[in-house]
Structure 1
């Protein structure tokens, strides 16, 4: 049979085209395209921003890092190549996945979470099938093809679509146009006369727009196989469900927290000064799938009003001919190198659709307003190691791409002013830049004028001297407890009193500053240090709470300091709610936690300026991975085997799940984990000490600035 379409289009290709950019989809289409893109990058033709996005808690790791595809690949090639051979082999296998290339699969726990949700979904629908049989006095069976190859599953699906003994097919498999289009349906409900319903499961608590195009692709392929899709459903996780508790909303948790009011140390003094024992949680748990899963036929969490997914699919197809869309992009995937280069030179992303909440319809973003669609996924090459427009903080990448296109300037070295006439104004005829951008830019230009030799006085925000002085004074209320958590999360709850993607603390480090003579270069003699890591594979929280409270009051009450405090505070609040006997001391710490990042991160509602201290090497970022190395480049993580939060989290997860040898854990890995977390809190001390030193030198050199 002659193929209708020139090139294959996987489900993942389609999702990327419709939600992100065809250029991104072309790069990840196959290994040949990726290597061609890599060659263009090496030859200084194009630069790329092909990254996964962190949108919610379930995507969050303690270092908040996203995945850069090209960096990941180069790291595997250049860093311990022999050790990475297996990882490179796995990398290559992603190009042949029937569903297409999925960037998120490079995060280990996301693969594991996806597999766990898939297994739980099949167990759930096995229970549903048994209930339906009991209620209707039937004996219908399930056909489970989850362990079959694509070819075997395809054959079995075809043979059983009209089998009246089958009620559900797990991983029902279809192809169209000689395998140019392939899909597997997580759960396919079989009805009479080739009528079906699709139930797609996602390892997420949040409904995302790519889920719509996932289902749209499946419906189209099934219809090409003569199926009639009556309805489609999206199964996702209910993160308000707590095992061995029931459902609880964020509002209920906040009401519980607020009921304590402001906690005085005298209220908890007797408790923290006496011995106490936190009882372990129940080991055996029952996960209620009826409460864990939400089976939505609407995009309830994605948009206002609500519209059935199947109705939204039909609405989309009334305006957009899917046959034509697939034909168009199939042709584009077959373009030769010259045609693709010309398309890469096109300044816009013209393929993605957005959902218009006002009219409950999907619209092509480019056709609606091309000025909002400047492409940043593929741009004219520039050196990412230099400071550029793309380092400007809190500015949309599409806006940066627009500024680059109009000005033809990318390096800060070549930009005279952010007010220069070569930068276009926005649709309101105003500058695209704000206060934070000017601080960032002016600091860099001074750095440039000084021959890229840092003048530390220039790092002080002279418009906010009072703020900086007041903030430093907060750290004189000794003792000062610098603390940091490492957490782990599961899509399917692992322990009692946990929910999907709940951040479960298993490790902490605390550095305690007890007077003004502290020195991170002599930490052992000028500070106190405590650390903890779970000793076994059970729920780590009871032991965590017990040791944490003892250590955090060991020098009496004080100032508690975290970096990006909302993370640690949210963990403490959840612990307080779930372990109410210890709520007061936990909440006392949360209430008295200040944020070291406040030296850098502005906040209009709190009337706090951005970057009280700014070094050009921050590159516009407030991340500790940028601020600490800039303030003291000699202090690093390079000597550590575990040197990232996501790696620590994944390692502990593997230990809990029995994938790490117990002897290896005790003799080698555990110590590496402790070293990493300890380095995090010492890095916080580095930041505070360096800010104090910079400000003290500034005051001596510039007495006119000090009241």
Structure 2
């Protein structure tokens, strides 16, 4: 059976050939089961996937063009929205079209049924009156692509790839390289290549200013710091000159048709198919225990994990020969705790833990934000992807006589209804609730996030800058108790996240009884509420389709079905901090390091 090749297939292949197999749509899951066995890999999956692809596609021939006649692969179909990443991409794509519609004669091929797109692409390519085409689709040698923007340039075209990012990344070169290969083989002359991305410093005021919102980049970064750049067209031509693209495509096709047994054996080999970037493959491993392996070892880089696994045959943290592995002090401590060679509290960290505990002066305010972000700013004086707080929860410990039954504990909360700009109201309520019992100690878990939100709000509302910065400066981090592995339990499994540390101290503490169980779920729900309000003033196609596809939330639905659940989730977060602080206090008292 022949398989169509898509851009994501090629990009995965360029990272490692094994990924092109694992991340194909029919295998698009974190754990793949074959013959009652599992392969587990520990890289991040993309947050999007294509629709079920059909292999019985037919081609329509046209003078100098091979075009896809019927293609079910489309990231632009709103019916398949299942993540905010996709939503950001769709919305950025919509506004990128508005950027060109202001000054050019444009045609959007995405408005047609898929079986009509091929003929329409041929027709519009040949229509000299049109200057810009949106989302034409092409096929060559079994490779299918949809181009974001084609802009006529004399006898040829400029190829423009739209990205919902604020920077140009090296891997973006593979997007345009793949498209350039297909289009030039369809006799489409490409004059220039651009990556169109968001300006991360764009400050939204009034109507969107497209010339400031978008950057049309002709260069991409050769380094992660961006200190060295190269022209995109030059980079594409250099890459095509040094490698056989047709050979790559044939290899991808062969991989897709590989029998399961052969694929299993291939995926378990140590070789990384990325042209020598790594000595050993960091992408795929045979079935591993879920806990207490080197793959849970704290901050051990992937390349070293692969070397230890393949070269030293080191996997389980219960192995006795770990002292010769040149690990960090924290990594050695993790292994010792797992093997019961050291206790939960590091005796050498007594003074450090005592000094941290002394920072907790009553009243203690434990607080947590839930935020929403989007590629296209929705609020005045905000930037792309800025974290906008819409909810908070605060638990106040009045003195050291508090307990888990909530004696001497007060709780305060706020949740926006999604109508208008709620930030000023949120900040005013936050300040009131964080000073009800006077200035105290403010506690967050991984405090950098909360401090960042406070600083943004201080800049936005200078009248409250002094008190907000005072709160920020007096914020301590509950996670500090676990730094340097001063306190460590085997159940942490190499993570200091509260989702790991809290259950390790209190097995009964859980989010399982809640309708909302993750911060990402809370953010997504509020965004659906926000977009329902935005639709009232934006009757364009994007928001109309979005309301039906993403199921935005009306005010009445919000009140009836979501407010209670969101409040309970955020409250659980801060009460979890109270529980964790209680357990830490008990542990230190048992050591005799703090007073009862």
TM more than 0.5: yes
Q: Could you state the TM-score of these two structures normalised by the residue count of structure 1? A: 0.75
Larger relative contact order, structure 1 or 2 (CA cutoff 8 Å, min sep 6): 1
Please report how far the alpha carbon of residue 542 of structure 1 lies from its aligned counterpart in structure 2 after TM superposition: 1.0
Matched residue, 2:136: 172
Question: Which residues of 2 match residues 492-571 of structure 1 at below 5 A?
Answer: 492-519=376-403, 521-523=404-406, 525-571=407-453
2:322 aligned with 1:458: no
Gaps of 5+ in 1: 54-66, 70-90, 130-140, 245-284, 352-363, 424-430, 450-456, 602-609
SS in 2 for 1:484: strand
2:166 aligned with 1:205: yes
2:8 pairs with one of 12, 27, 31:
12
CA distance in 1, matches of 2:29, 2:349: 49
Q: Assess if the C-alpha contact under 8 Å between 1:12 and 1:101 holds in 2.
A: no
SS in 1 for 2:135: strand
Matched residue, 2:32: 38
CA distance in 2, matches of 1:395, 1:207: 28
2:522 aligned with 1:648: yes
Say what the alpha-carbon RMSD is for the aligned residues: 2.5
Q: Kindly provide the CA deviation profile for residues 546-592 of structure 1, in whole angstroms up to 9, marking residues without a partner as x.
A: 10011111111111111111111111111111111211111111111
CA distance in 1, matches of 2:303, 2:287: 16
CA distance in 1, matches of 2:29, 2:448: 41
Please report how far the alpha carbon of residue 50 of structure 1 lies from its aligned counterpart in structure 2 after TM superposition: 4.9
1:110 pairs with one of 76, 85, 88:
85
Q: Assess if the C-alpha contact under 8 Å between 1:6 and 1:331 holds in 2.
A: no
2:358 aligned with 1:468: no
Q: Kindly provide the CA deviation profile for residues 580-622 of structure 1, in whole angstroms up to 9, marking residues without a partner as x.
A: 1211111111111111111123xxxxxxxx1221011000101
SS in 2 for 1:299: strand
Residue 7 to residue 109, structure 1, CA distance change in 2 (3 Å): closer
Matched residue, 1:236: 197
Matched residue, 2:244: 321
SS in 2 for 1:38: strand
Q: Could you state the TM-score of these two structures normalised by the residue count of structure 2? A: 0.88
Q: Kindly provide the CA deviation profile for residues 59-87 of structure 1, in whole angstroms up to 9, marking residues without a partner as x.
A: xxxxxxxx7x9xxxxxxxxxxxxxxxxxx
Q: Assess if the C-alpha contact under 8 Å between 2:278 and 2:303 holds in 1.
A: no
Q: Kindly provide the CA deviation profile for residues 105-147 of structure 1, in whole angstroms up to 9, marking residues without a partner as x.
A: 8852112111110110001111132xxxxxxxxxxx2111122
CA distance in 1, matches of 2:567, 2:215: 38
Q: Assess if the C-alpha contact under 8 Å between 2:374 and 2:385 holds in 1.
A: yes
Q: Kindly provide the CA deviation profile for residues 149-172 of structure 1, in whole angstroms up to 9, marking residues without a partner as x.
A: 444222211122232101000112
1:637 pairs with one of 491, 508, 511:
511
Q: How many residues align?
A: 555
Please report how far the alpha carbon of residue 320 of structure 1 lies from its aligned counterpart in structure 2 after TM superposition: 1.3
Q: Assess if the C-alpha contact under 8 Å between 1:117 and 1:203 holds in 2.
A: yes
Q: Assess if the C-alpha contact under 8 Å between 2:51 and 2:74 holds in 1.
A: no
SS in 2 for 1:633: coil
CA distance in 1, matches of 2:94, 2:31: 36
Q: Assess if the C-alpha contact under 8 Å between 2:199 and 2:212 holds in 1.
A: yes
Please report how far the alpha carbon of residue 304 of structure 1 lies from its aligned counterpart in structure 2 after TM superposition: 2.1
CA distance in 2, matches of 1:36, 1:582: 46
Matched residue, 1:339: 262
SS in 1 for 2:417: coil
2:553 aligned with 1:669: no
Gaps of 5+ in 2: 55-71, 533-551
2:18 aligned with 1:23: yes
Q: Kindly provide the CA deviation profile for residues 231-284 of structure 1, in whole angstroms up to 9, marking residues without a partner as x.
A: 11111111211112xxxxxxxxxxxxxxxxxxxxxxxxxxxxxxxxxxxxxxxx
SS in 1 for 2:148: strand
CA distance in 2, matches of 1:506, 1:665: 14
2:125 pairs with one of 153, 161, 177:
161
Q: Assess if the C-alpha contact under 8 Å between 2:392 and 2:413 holds in 1.
A: yes
Q: Assess if the C-alpha contact under 8 Å between 2:396 and 2:409 holds in 1.
A: yes
Question: Which residues of 2 match residues 371-450 of structure 1 at below 5 A?
Answer: 371=279, 374-384=280-290, 386-413=291-318, 415-420=319-324, 431=326, 433-446=327-340
2:51 aligned with 1:93: yes
Please report how far the alpha carbon of residue 100 of structure 1 lies from its aligned counterpart in structure 2 after TM superposition: 8.4
Residue 298 to residue 695, structure 1, CA distance change in 2 (3 Å): same
Q: Assess if the C-alpha contact under 8 Å between 2:30 and 2:40 holds in 1.
A: no
